[in-house]
Structure 1
Amino acid sequence: MNVISVMGGKVHKRQEFDGGEDAFFPLCRTGGMTNRGTKYKGTDAEVTCSVCLSYDAPKPEVKEEAPKRSITREEWLHQAIDALRPKFEEIGFPLPEKIHVSVGFGYGAKRESSIILGQCWPTPLSEDGVNHIFLSPEMDDSARVLDVLIHELVHAADNCKSGHKGDFAKYAKLLGLTGKMTATVATPELAEALRELADKIGPYSHAKLYTRGRPVKPEEPKRPETPEEPEAPAAPSGPKKQGTRMIKVVCKSNCGCGGYVVRTTAKWLEVGLPICPVGTVMEIA
């Protein structure tokens, strides 16, 4: 049996209540138990109250989503290549179907003055006939990684035939690379597009490698617990302190040069002692 207000209206499910057979209260608890002024009576009519019906409606299963797997840096780079392929096709300079890309140093990549950020190898030098691209582990900025990747992809599309001239320079500029062709950078427009692409792919799973040693942040000077009056600077007297100490180097007095004398710094003495005009190795005085 269901219940309905004696005044009519929606039909409710009856709430089981310890009040006897004459206790008619709606399952949704509207009126009746909360408002004694509303009276209900029994009815055989079908329930029309959506709230009462919702109590019996099956609750939708909430499926827990599996945690998203973070991709490796190589997977990240391959997703970037797939996203960049249409750009190369638009300018009529399509990429090879297969490209190997890794993070690491290519052969001879380390120089005294700088680190090569990217390197592409032509297919004839690969056993499987596929271009190999290496990106420096010194880079951790995702947009800059994509910037360098495009440079190397231009080499791959050209199979390294043009070096940094000819077709390489032509198509690199069409893609939005600028500056010296041996060390290109993205135009502001391309840099913004690459930043959006990096955000779309997700975090670049790579920790920067400090090939020249981790930079040390200078420590801040400790402040005294109680403020002190600064000491007045001492008045200058005598000659100013020499910034770099010059070290006297002499030749033997019995040498044919007659006791040749020069002055140099400790930096160059670490390289080696100078030689007098006659050819004798000099000594520190």
Structure 2
Amino acid sequence: MVYRRLRYPHDALLRGRSMRERVVVKWGGGLITQKDTMKTVRHAILDSLAEQLEECLLQGMDVVLVHGAGSFGHLKAKAYQLAEGKVSDPNLPDDRSQEEAVIDVRNDMMELNAHVLAALTKRDVSAVSLPPHQWAKNTGPNFEGDLSLFESAPPGIVVITHGDVVNCDEPACFGILSGDDLVYRLATELSGVKRLVFAMGGVEGVLREPPNGVEDALKLIEHLHQDDLFEGEHMQAMDVTGGIGLKVQRGFQAANHGVEVLLVSGEMDTRVKDACLGNAVRGTRLHSS
């Protein structure tokens, strides 16, 4: 495994793992891609997020990065019902088999991951990628996989993974492992994790009702408690892995383990960086029960 040369001079990088905090951050697929246009990257957003991630490293914080699929995964996965596993459905497209679609989506996700790596490389950020189909099995929060891989990198190296199509036990044979399930497990099982940050597209956090472009800023829930109710349907018609509802559900599970959990806009100023560093930021903070 080869890492790019580190250029961060700060003493924090030299103190070793035990004295460094870690943050798990999720770059949503609908944030880094045009989610309704096949395989279209939002390069300006990626560049901004990479710059903010670099600043977290400069401040002495280790980062585990998970990114969503957006238009590199959800559109094709939905068409071929990959979230359902192996099915016999006459309504499936007949241009390829589900198994061929699995390979296509995996390749598409690695293509998107290459864009993420390229954005980090432009900032001279050292990173290594661990695609889930190479190390994980089964789906949901109890997926199987060796998470110690994410602690094997030296301090200051960003370890990246993403939502993916993984192998599953029969009869499903395959399924979609959501990035939201990944961040929950990573945030609660890796050492030193201080907070979990969801960087979202199109919204500033969790809204009281689905966004419609009319005074959405006034709908923001800045503090969400586990007993509160909201309509978890932001883009849910497109998101085959659970939409905002799953993010909040997994976020609360992480919060119950003592992890700070925030959902913020990835499109506005430096909110992702501020959330990762624990600075005051506009967004939604989840409070455990």
Instruction: From the CA coordinates, give the structure whose radius of gyration is larger.
Output: 1
Normalising by the smaller structure, the TM-score range is: under 0.3
TM (norm. structure 2) is 0.22
More strand by share: 2
TM (norm. structure 1) is 0.22
